[in-house]
């Protein structure tokens, strides 16, 4: 792990936008993102020069982790967390959250390391935080948002999963599956992270649900999700189906508990039902 200098993460003004007061950590989970990494970090620092950036790399075969170390050696705002192998985007996101909590950051902003979440939207997310939201989502499905050149099947699936999640978990957001989010770290302390069951694509939705249940105020700002600039997608349809099963399982468990409560039944165990297996790889989208 590289050490960042103190003070680098202090408050500054992002490109004429008023920033929320506090230290900002930007997390980038990477697996084979070497061609994107340096230019992405530069683009993030153009929007938020005061931000520390944590690269969470899973021993990428293309040497992304080594490049991150080289960048960190010349820029104290960059830090690197090396993990031994591909452990999935869910656990990488969780590692970023734990890092932000342990290091006492005020805000945690996460984005994909492939330019699909364009850094030019970072000021919009920070403006939402400054207005008092606990989580701001870069959203594809609010007016003004969208996806660039997605195949019909992927778009339909993504929209359908979001509808299902809204129905099962009653989340008041249009885009619960994207990873472009900014969190108020103090509120994350109230979220029972140890209860998160998902490791794959469903991680993003389950995390949001747990945060909402813990009282977080959610907000959305439109983004156009762009195709990755370089490298290959890690989208895995088998994993997508496993994650869908996980969401249905968690969502039905949630609805049944709500119904039981409304009927006056007091369950002895309030933990979400344990599925026979949990999804265990890849990324969310
Ligand atoms: N550390 C870590 N990062 C991962 C892992 N899987 C995916 N990522 C990263 O998570 C982000 C999203 O993954 P992508 O491959 O872009 O998947 P996607 O966004 O669903 O798919 P496309 O946008 O089509 O490329 C990228 O920054 C990946 O490098 C993983 O197992 N470990
Ligand atoms: Mg991507």
SS3 assignment for 117-163: CCHHHHHHHHHHHHCCCCEEEEECCCCCCEECCCCHHHHHHHHHHHH
pLDDT of residue 200: 81
Residues 71 and 78: beta-carbon distance below 8 Å:
yes
Ligand 1 nearest atom to the CA of residue 285, by list position: 20
pLDDT of residue 9: 34
Task: Kindly state if the Cβ of 86 falls inside 6 Å of ligand 1.
Answer: yes
- DSSP, res 54: E
pLDDT of residue 235: 74
pLDDT of residue 241: 87
- Give 130 Cα–ligand 2 centroid separation in angstroms: 27
Q: Name which residue sits closest to atom 7 of ligand 1, judged by CA.
A: 283
pLDDT of residue 282: 40
Token pair for 233? 């997608």
Task: Kindly state if the Cβ of 88 falls inside 6 Å of ligand 1.
Answer: yes
What Cα–Cα distance (Å) separates residue 92 from each residue in 62, 116, 145? 18, 18, 26
Task: Kindly state if the Cβ of 31 falls inside 6 Å of ligand 1.
Answer: yes
Task: Kindly state if the Cβ of 89 falls inside 6 Å of ligand 1.
Answer: yes
Centroid of chain to Cα 175: 12
Q: Which superfamily does 24-262 belong to? A: Spore Coat Polysaccharide Biosynthesis Protein SpsA; Chain A (3.90.550.10)
- Give 173 Cα–ligand 1 centroid separation in angstroms: 23
- Give 219 Cα–ligand 2 centroid separation in angstroms: 22
Rounded to whole angstroms, the Cα distance separating 109 from 183 reads: 6
Which residues face 109 on adjacent strands? 26, 182
Task: Kindly state if the Cβ of 56 falls inside 6 Å of ligand 1.
Answer: yes
Q: Return per-residue pLDDT of the chain as tens, 285 residues.
A: 333 333 323 334 444 455 557 999 999 999 999 999 999 999 999 999 999 999 999 999 999 999 999 999 999 999 999 999 999 899 999 999 999 999 999 999 999 999 999 999 999 999 999 999 999 999 999 999 999 988 898 899 999 999 999 999 999 999 999 999 999 999 999 999 999 998 888 999 999 999 999 999 999 999 999 988 888 887 788 888 888 899 999 988 888 888 888 888 776 655 555 443 333 334 444
- Give 267 Cα–ligand 1 centroid separation in angstroms: 38
pLDDT of residue 30: 97
Ligand 1 nearest atom to the CA of residue 234, by list position: 15
- Give 228 Cα–ligand 2 centroid separation in angstroms: 6
Rounded to whole angstroms, the Cα distance separating 139 from 234 reads: 21
Domain locations in the chain as residue ranges: 24-262
């Amino acid at each position: 792990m590289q050490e960042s200098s103190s003070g680098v993460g202090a408050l500054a003004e992002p490109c004429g936008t008023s920033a929320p007061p506090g230290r900002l950590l930007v997390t980038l989970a990477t697996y084979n993102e070497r061609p994107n990494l340096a230019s992405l970090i530069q683009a993030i620092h153009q929007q938020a020069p005061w931000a520390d950036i944590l690269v969470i790399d899973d021993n990428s075969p293309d040497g992304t982790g080594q490049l991150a170390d080289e960048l960190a050696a010349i820029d104290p705002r960059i830090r690197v967390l090396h993990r031994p192998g591909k452990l999935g985007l869910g656990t990488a996101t969780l590692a970023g959250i734990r890092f932000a909590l342990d290091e006492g950051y005020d805000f945690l902003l996460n984005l994909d390391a492939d330019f699909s979440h364009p850094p030019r939207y970072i000021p919009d997310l920070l403006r939402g935080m400054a207005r008092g939201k606990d989580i701001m989502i870069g959203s594809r499905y609010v007016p003004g948002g969208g996806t660039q050149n997605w195949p019909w099947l992927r778009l339909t699936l993504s929209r359908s999963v979001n509808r299902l999640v809204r129905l099962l978990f009653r989340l008041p957001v249009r885009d619960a599956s994207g990873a472009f989010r900014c969190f108020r770290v103090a509120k994350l302390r109230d979220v029972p992270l140890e209860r998160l069951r998902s490791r794959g694509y469903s991680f993003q939705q389950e995390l949001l649900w747990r945060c909402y249940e813990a009282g977080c105020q959610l907000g959305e700002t439109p983004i156009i999700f762009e195709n990755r600039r370089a490298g290959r997608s890690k989208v895995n349809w088998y994993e997508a189906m496993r994650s869908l099963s996980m969401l249905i399982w968690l969502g039905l468990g949630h609805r049944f508990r709500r119904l039981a409560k409304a009927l006056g039944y007091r369950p002895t165990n309030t933990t979400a039902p344990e599925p026979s297996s949990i999804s265990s790889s890849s990324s969310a989208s």
